[in-house]
Amino acid sequence: MTMETFLPAFNSSIMYLLSFKVYVLLPVIIFFLALIFRIPLSTAFRSALMLGIGFIGIFMTFDFYVSIINPAITALIQRTGLHFTVFDTGWIPLSVITWQFHLAPILLVIFILINVVMLVIKKTRTVNIDIWNFWHVIFISAAVYTVTGSNTLAILFGVGGFFLTLKLSDWSAPLINKVSGMSGICIPHLSALAYYPVGIIGNAVLDRIPLIKDLEANPEQLKRKLGLFGEPMIMGLLLAILLGIASDYSVKATAELAVSFAGVIYILPIVCNILGSALIPISDGMKTFLAKRFPDLGITFIGLDVAVLFGMPAVMVTTLLLIPVSLVLSFVLPGISFIPLGDLTNLTVPVALLVISTRGNIVRSFILGIPVVAGNLYFATALAPLFTNMARAMNYRIEGYEGVFTSFLDGGNILRGWLIQLSAGHIAAFVAIPFVILLLVITRVLSRRQGAAQS
């Protein structure tokens, strides 16, 4: 087979593999990993299947959440009577553009090899099996290539982004395990991990502010203090009623919205527990196997989608609090050219790592979420022309829309945005290099101090 025939066949094989839904692909990967770890066949099969079922439960519940919240957000925006020049499409166009990028299959293999090598030389503890979400890093390369026209720079920036993802995953993993109650997992998801430094450093700052530092506001503490009104589902019910009123909903529609959101907050932890229980034998088997075969390797973590953290009630409550704030900021901040409609419900992604960093404190997560939202709004606005040009270069069209588009969260991701601006030669991005390095150093120090990492 010649190189001319191998590359297209290789690309097709990778694309076919990635065409499987995550609730099929990850269980298959987990099953074969379990066999490698010498886990009994019946246990491996059951755990893999339960993992898939857990993800189905999470996605079904989250899709239901999106279906009830989106109409309320749309109605709320329509009440303002404001119109903007850029359309927020959400993350899907960016992922489609990424997988159409000519270097995507090659980068996928490069990232897997980097992960393996870093594990062998003990520079990471993350076993990243969540290969679908590699697109979050590959998108950096696609954007850099569009900006520079250089394959070399595209690969270098992608490798740099993947390295940062693994390190942030390592540093945050122990705290994720402790706060979420799920053992042996990590979240190598760039769209979430970009906000771990904001969360852990911001939480340290809030520890020094009177009143806030003593305010205990995680769901369990609120439940003890407020009784019924401290229940996460009751808080969700009340917040959804306020959203319904603000959206000019009828009494019937408001009641349906409120009960539905309360149901989401109640059900998500249950389906996440299914996933968590499925991972226990895999995690234990992996630890035993690696301890025997590679005694110097130390503790390792299985990399999963950030969706496994959505079952934490604090994540959903904080997200609902930040939704109206995001809309207000898009209206009042100067220079913002879009309303964050398409991606607004996915605020759960950055919020999840803020909640982990604050150990479930809703008030702190909300406070830290405000600058995160503002940063995303500005990056998503600045990069909108680039995203539109990338889509046009790859002949990707948004049905019924021909104008400039962006993505509030994935398009506005602050770490990815900084790397793209750096590749474009923006002076501000170069000036920010020492600041970014300082943030990462402080993040590592705080993570080790809190027992969040030892790498």
Instruction: Give the torsion through C-alpha atoms of 10, 12, 15, 21, to 10 deg.
Output: -120
Question: pLDDT value at position 158?
Answer: 96
Question: pLDDT value at position 172?
Answer: 95
Helix (H) or strand (E) holding 418: helix 414-423
Rounded-to-integer distance, Cα 387 and Cα 403, Å? 11
Question: pLDDT value at position 452?
Answer: 43
- 227: DSSP letter: G
Rounded-to-integer distance, Cα 309 and Cα 269, Å? 9
Q: Which residues of the chain have pLDDT under 70?
A: 1-7, 81-83, 217, 219-230, 451-455
- Give the three-class secondary structure for 185: strand
Express each pLDDT in 201-228 by its tens digit.
999 999 998 877 777 767 666 666 666 6
> Which pTM value belongs to this model?
0.84
Cβ atoms of residues 391 and 397 within 8 Å: yes
Give bridge partners of residue 126 from the DSSP assignment: 301
Cβ atoms of residues 51 and 273 within 8 Å: no
Question: pLDDT value at position 54?
Answer: 85
Cβ atoms of residues 410 and 136 within 8 Å: yes
CB burial readout 190-199, b (16+ within 10 A) else e: bbbbbbbbbb
Question: pLDDT value at position 230?
Answer: 64
Question: pLDDT value at position 453?
Answer: 41
Q: List the strands of the sheet with 185-186, edge to edge.
A: 126-128, 301-303, 185-186
Question: pLDDT value at position 7?
Answer: 64
Express each pLDDT in 393-428 by its tens digit.
888 887 777 788 899 989 999 999 999 999 999 999
Rounded-to-integer distance, Cα 435 and Cα 316, Å? 31
Rounded-to-integer distance, Cα 236 and Cα 377, Å? 25
